[in-house]
Amino acid sequence: MKLRRKLFASKDPYDCTRSQLFLDACKENYSHLITHCDDYKKISEGLGIKGVHDIKGVCDIPIIPTMLMKQHDFRSGRYMVMATSSGTSGKMSHVRFEFGALMAALRMSIKVTRYHGIMSFRPCRYIVMGYKPHRSNKTAVAKTAYLTTFLAPAISRKFILKHTSEGYKPDFDGIVKALEKYEKGKAPVRFMGFPSYTFFLFRLLEERGLSFKLPKNSRIMLGGGWKQFYQEAADKETFYKLAKKTLNIDEENITEFFGAVEHPILYTDCAAHHFHVPVYSNIVIRDPDTLEPLGMGKTGLVNLISPLCKATPILSIMTDDLGILHDGSTCPCGVKSPYLEIVGRVAPEDIKTCAAGAADILQGVKV
């Protein structure tokens, strides 16, 4: 995986000149997958890609939908760490990472977070708007939220979702108490986690007439997506205003991450709140009817490509998100690569067939 190493060692995480290296690294990954994963080979051949010579561009790489990964466990080599998707619909993908993938991910994280000024040596207090790590929780969201608390030395970590005997429960009152304490201290506070819980917290504070003047350099870092949250229609402007009003955190100190366990690339929004595509990945937006690649500015299914991982065939995956790829060359932040806008999700997956009428009984229950 020489080419992967080279790609992930790129100095500039948004270097637009490395598309050939990217394609070559993908081919290298593909060659590994078809020789180490029978299932991947079957799919590739089924789709008419008989070998690496059939891959002329990143669009040609066989696409594995996350929908299939939730139904079928793929393996393509030895691994060190396994993570699962959050499984909002009850089904989860299992993604395994080998040492090389973890190292590449680490390199990428350091480069990207440094680039966006998120990495700091100044100790801070973390409020994680997500899961408290627990042995029963293998979701990548819990792991990444926890890992993010290492981007600056932690004085303390407070979690909003606590594991109780009845499962995970939000503890808003505990957070309010912590805020009262932290406001009096000097250490910056860093919020990390789901946008939905963070937004609920803002509203709760607003309803109770509470506001805090958190120490300077406090930040909000959002990850885990707005997926379950479209109903609330919280537009980002409102979110930023509430952050200022309730916690005294300015918009420029709010950073959002985007990623998926099946595509563990760190997308970080720029000053203009755009998710530019880093050098480690490519995004192809595909026609919702034919899966043919679409040009910039058109809405379609989001096909995410990265040669990060060997142990699971996640070279080219398709999520159930709908998105648009925009031309990034005019973004005021200076990054020239295209940026992704997620505009929604496909309709619920549970296709309602006669056969499926009571079949959901089987999915959760082994009777």
Residues that bind another protein (CB under 8 A): 39, 42-43, 45-47, 63-65, 67-68, 71-72, 90, 288-291, 299-301, 318, 320, 322, 344-365, 367
CA distance linking residue 71 with residue 239, whole number of Å: 36
Q: Which is nearer to another protein, 122 or 352 (CB)?
A: 352
SS3 of residue 307 by DSSP:
coil
Q: Which is nearer to another protein, 334 or 344 (CB)?
A: 344
CA distance linking residue 333 with residue 124, whole number of Å: 27
% helix / strand / coil in the chain, to the nearest 5?
35, 25, 40
Residues ≥6 apart with Cβ < 8 Å to 230 = 344, 345
Q: Which is nearer to another protein, 48 or 332 (CB)?
A: 48
Query: 325 near 296, Cβ under 8 Å?
Result: yes
Give the nearest distance from C-beta 349 to another protein in angstroms: 7
Q: Which is nearer to another protein, 192 or 294 (CB)?
A: 294
- By DSSP bridging, strand 219-222 and strand 189-193 are parallel
Give the nearest distance from C-beta 258 to another protein in angstroms: 19
DSSP tag of 143: H
Give the nearest distance from C-beta 242 to another protein in angstroms: 28
The most distant pair of C-alpha atoms in the chain lies apart, rounded to whole Å, by 64
Number of Cα atoms under 13 Å in the Cβ half of residue 163: 8
Give the nearest distance from C-beta 232 to another protein in angstroms: 18
CA distance linking residue 267 with residue 275, whole number of Å: 6
DSSP tag of 122: S
Please report which helix (H) or strand (E) contains residue 112, including its range.
Answer: helix 99-115
Of 143, 242, 255, give the one whose Cα is nearest residue 201: 242
Which tokens in the block code for residue 233?
């229609």
Give the nearest distance from C-beta 66 to another protein in angstroms: 9
Give the nearest distance from C-beta 343 to another protein in angstroms: 9
Give the nearest distance from C-beta 289 to another protein in angstroms: 5
Cα 78 to chain centroid distance, Å, stands at 23
Give the nearest distance from C-beta 301 to another protein in angstroms: 5
Give the nearest distance from C-beta 91 to another protein in angstroms: 11
Q: Which is nearer to another protein, 165 or 330 (CB)?
A: 165
Cα 140 to chain centroid distance, Å, stands at 9
Cα 63 to chain centroid distance, Å, stands at 18
Residues ≥6 apart with Cβ < 8 Å to 284 = 58, 59, 293, 303, 305, 325
Q: Which is nearer to another protein, 233 or 367 (CB)?
A: 367
Residue corresponding to tokens 């799919």: 43
Q: Which is nearer to another protein, 189 or 317 (CB)?
A: 317
Q: Which is nearer to another protein, 237 or 289 (CB)?
A: 289
Query: 34 near 41, Cβ under 8 Å?
Result: yes
Q: Which is nearer to another protein, 148 or 303 (CB)?
A: 303
